[in-house]
Amino acid sequence: MNKLLLETIICYLKEELSPGLFIHSAGVAETAVSLAELLGEDKNRAELAGWLHDCAREIPQQELLYLAEAGQLTIDPHCRLRPVLLHAAVGAIKARQLDVADEAVLTAISRHTLGFPGMSLLDRIIYVADKIEPGRSYPEVEVLRRKVAEDFHCGVIAVTAQTISHLLANRQLIHPLTISFWNSLSGSGSEANAGLLPLHS
């Protein structure tokens, strides 16, 4: 990876993102690099995707819709109802505008929020790193970190289960892609049960 490109992107993000989101992005990049090293994935790709994964997170919702339409993205009814769900896909568009040409990195950025059946190892690393980076402090995060450290695949299942449990507990919309990703992970059900966390009300 071009180190100058990464440095330029970090400087851009420091200017564009709120301090909290910048710190979160740094944590995701750090976690993604650690996971990549453990799992044999390209750590440079992981670092770049980690830094950029939320580059569109703070764009206002109506602007997200506009940018998605301008980028000829498919906007389903769920994303029209909650445009914030588009921030990952729009983030990939913004990353390309920042001279990121690596399709694997762009795909990992675009899939980090909703998940996607058949995600690559890099996709899953960014998806997981987003949920367990050092700045995360929700009740289940230590359990998830331990599961990811013990067995990455079971950790992915546990992270996805926690995400769905959180959405259910808060009576929030669950995007069909998230359900499809869960179904692709769960198989016959035995693996999924190993990763489940309690549903909190």
Question: What average pLDDT score do residues 21-25 get?
Answer: 98
Q: What's the CA gap between 43 and 169, in Å, rounded?
A: 35
Model pLDDT, residue 189: 44
What is the torsion angle, in degrees rounded to the nearest 10, for the CA atoms of residue 148, residue 150, residue 154 and residue 160?
Answer: -20
Q: Is the pLDDT of residue 191 over 50?
A: no
Q: How many Cβ atoms from other residues are within 10 Å of residue 180's Cβ?
A: 15
Q: In degrees rounded to 5, what are phi and psi of residue 41? A: -95, 160
pTM: 0.92
Q: How many Cβ atoms from other residues are within 10 Å of residue 111's Cβ?
A: 25
Question: What average pLDDT score do residues 28-42 get?
Answer: 98
Q: Is the pLDDT of residue 190 over 60?
A: no
Model pLDDT, residue 85: 97
Residue whose entry in the numeric block shows the structure tokens 């960014």? 126
- In the DSSP assignment, the letter for residue 85 is G
Question: What average pLDDT score do residues 17-37 get?
Answer: 98
Rounded to the nearest integer, the mean pLDDT of the chain is 93
For the stretch 76-94, pLDDT in tens is: 999 999 999 999 999 999 9
Residue 126's nearest CA partner among 37, 36, 56 is 36
DSSP output for 126-148: HHHHHHHSTT--STTHHHHHHHH
For the stretch 117-143, pLDDT in tens is: 999 999 999 999 999 999 999 999 999
Model pLDDT, residue 170: 95
- Fold observed for domain 3-195: Hypothetical protein af1432 (1.10.3210)
- How far does CA 168 lie from the centroid of its chain? 19
pLDDT above 70: percentage of residues in the chain? 93
